[in-house]
Structure 1
């Protein structure tokens, strides 16, 4: 409305100027010159207001299209604007709408992912809690002391797993929110490796899995805490997929260009089609291959047990978040993780951190 009033005022001023010009022409050159001057002025004024009217229509169309965007329409186009400045405005609005649509799609995908993640977390926590609730009445009525101790150990293991799940999920949430601060300092590969395996020594002994370590000398600039956290999650994953009597090896190679950690196990390895997916959050442990030494029936049985979340040696499979957290922590330090199999068939994880060459 303000633009219309402004155009009217400009038109009145233009008309007053035209009348003054006509009066001057009448005084100086007579009636015909005055009429000619007035006609030219009126024609110019009509043309001017026609341009203003067309521009006003274009602006109204833009306003209507913007209103459609604000009300959720996604089929709005700004490509039909013809005038140069209006066309530029329409072009910029079109870019804005395209970006808003991409942002909206990304938010929808994130909302869907969050919904699925919450469902996965709920399932992962509910399953051991339900099992513990079923075991407690049985434990109360159990007379055999050995059976009672075995049930208590199972309950302790489930509680430990739930605690680890909650702790790891909190770390993942911090990583997603950018709340983890990476502080690189001079350290050694041996110090990082030792810090990584220290919390797992008792579990490795309990599962009858041996650990070998071979780390190069020298220093490297890494965040020791979070690098050790990443290695710990990978070693834990290897432990969960290595049978009793098996072996895990953690080696560190430190040269002028890179610092590389290589973790191998003597488990059943990783299927070729699953080597990228195992780093996806909440990916099922059913991705692990059955050992080539198993018969087809045994392999089918192992796959069925993995689908139920139970490994062939009776241990529950993982939650599918440890490797995802490891990937996030390594990526924060410009590192990479690659998963493949050794020549003997076991899994191998190679973590590489490039060094800055001055």
Structure 2
């Protein structure tokens, strides 16, 4: 305590007051001076005891903060009694608790980032390895022209895959960092569906699939470009995971809570074990139907990006099974 300049000043001032008071009382009566001296010493002793107790509690708070800084488990130091020290304890506990939660969140983010980087590295490594092998094969002088064309087509496909992956990851990074400006403008649901389908017409034709679009047209407030991207990923998923010659049903409309677009296919549906993880990045579920070959270009980020886009616009997306997979995009009103 004596290291504290304020406490030393208090002792000097209190001792001076005691001496002055004792001297004044002695001038009146010796017994009065004695009682005055004893009274002053008693008050001073009680003050020192209370001050010492407060210093002890402050030292405990300091030790508590050191333990928090070292990452130890938090102890509940909240105090429901009155007084400034109790208020300080409660505020320190709140601040320490918030810092601990932030530290846990940072650890989780770091773990997820490491996993994402590992997945990205794996997704890029596969086409790069194939490109390297095909480049070596193309150097052979006696390679037949048809094989050369086949290898060049495969290399172009690999480059397109890497380009798509990198661009998609950049879009996700922009969304995560709130760097992408989502501007809400009114647009008809039928227009959104038309724009999203325009990019999938060739794959739909190749698989001889039929798309049935129906519903109650209505205006919705959203960012058209980003919403078309989200819907396009869902339609792409339906096309890729639905057998040849089947029907994809797209319904749209509104209710009291939200405007919706529902994409339904009559494929094998989604494995129940996959449903809780379907919108996680780089998650690739198991196909239940043996006739559906797993798409080589699927890296498990399309559905994740669709949900991110919807949630950035006060919306959401969910999936379920009902004689096939059903994805419902919702934009709350």
Q: Could you say which TM-score interval applies, normalised by the shorter chain?
A: 0.7 to 0.9
Cα distance between partner residues in 2 of 1:96 and 1:129: 48
Cα distance between partner residues in 1 of 2:136 and 2:106: 46
Task: Look up the match of 1:336.
Answer: 316
Q: With the length of structure 2 as denominator, give the TM-score of the two structures.
A: 0.88
Once the 2 structures are TM-superposed, how far is the Cα of residue 274 of structure 1 from its aligned partner? 1.6
State which drifts further: 128-137 or 219-228: 128-137
Task: Look up the match of 1:320.
Answer: 300
Unaligned 5+ residue runs, structure 2?
A: none
1:134–1:213: structure 2 CA closer, same or farther, 3 Å change rule? Answer: farther
1:200–1:152: structure 2 CA closer, same or farther, 3 Å change rule? Answer: farther
1:277–1:121: structure 2 CA closer, same or farther, 3 Å change rule? Answer: same
Q: Is the 8 A contact 1:230 1:325 kept in 2?
A: yes
CA offsets 1:250-279 (integer angstroms, 9 cap, x no match)? 332245653221112243321123223111
CA offsets 1:120-144 (integer angstroms, 9 cap, x no match)? 0110111122122223334555755
The partner residue of 1:79 within 73, 77, 80 is 77
Task: Look up the match of 2:194.
Answer: 194
Q: Is the 8 A contact 2:254 2:260 kept in 1?
A: yes
Secondary structure of residue in 2 paired with 1:23: helix
2:87 counterpart of 1:88: yes
1:243–1:136: structure 2 CA closer, same or farther, 3 Å change rule? Answer: farther
Cα distance between partner residues in 2 of 1:21 and 1:83: 34
Q: Is the 8 A contact 1:62 1:78 kept in 2?
A: no
1:103–1:255: structure 2 CA closer, same or farther, 3 Å change rule? Answer: closer
1:147–1:245: structure 2 CA closer, same or farther, 3 Å change rule? Answer: farther
1:124–1:207: structure 2 CA closer, same or farther, 3 Å change rule? Answer: farther
Once the 2 structures are TM-superposed, how far is the Cα of residue 148 of structure 1 from its aligned partner? 4.0
Q: Is the 8 A contact 2:218 2:253 kept in 1?
A: no
Once the 2 structures are TM-superposed, how far is the Cα of residue 92 of structure 1 from its aligned partner? 2.3
Cα distance between partner residues in 2 of 1:289 and 1:331: 29
Q: Is the 8 A contact 1:337 1:350 kept in 2?
A: yes
Once the 2 structures are TM-superposed, how far is the Cα of residue 325 of structure 1 from its aligned partner? 0.3
Once the 2 structures are TM-superposed, how far is the Cα of residue 207 of structure 1 from its aligned partner? 4.3
Once the 2 structures are TM-superposed, how far is the Cα of residue 116 of structure 1 from its aligned partner? 0.5
Task: Look up the match of 1:182.
Answer: 182
Secondary structure of residue in 2 paired with 1:276: helix
Task: Look up the match of 1:125.
Answer: 124
Task: Look up the match of 1:45.
Answer: 44
Cα distance between partner residues in 2 of 1:16 and 1:61: 32
Task: Look up the match of 1:16.
Answer: 16
Unaligned 5+ residue runs, structure 1?
A: 291-298, 303-310
Cα distance between partner residues in 2 of 1:211 and 1:241: 14
Q: Is the 8 A contact 2:269 2:325 kept in 1?
A: yes
CA offsets 1:200-246 (integer angstroms, 9 cap, x no match)? 22333344444343353332222211111100111111222123333
Matches within 5 A, 1:182-331: 182-254=182-254, 257-286=257-286, 288-290=287-289, 299=290, 312=293, 315-316=295-296, 318-331=298-311
Number of aligned residues: 331
Superposed structure 1 runs of 4+ greater than 6 Å apart: 80-83
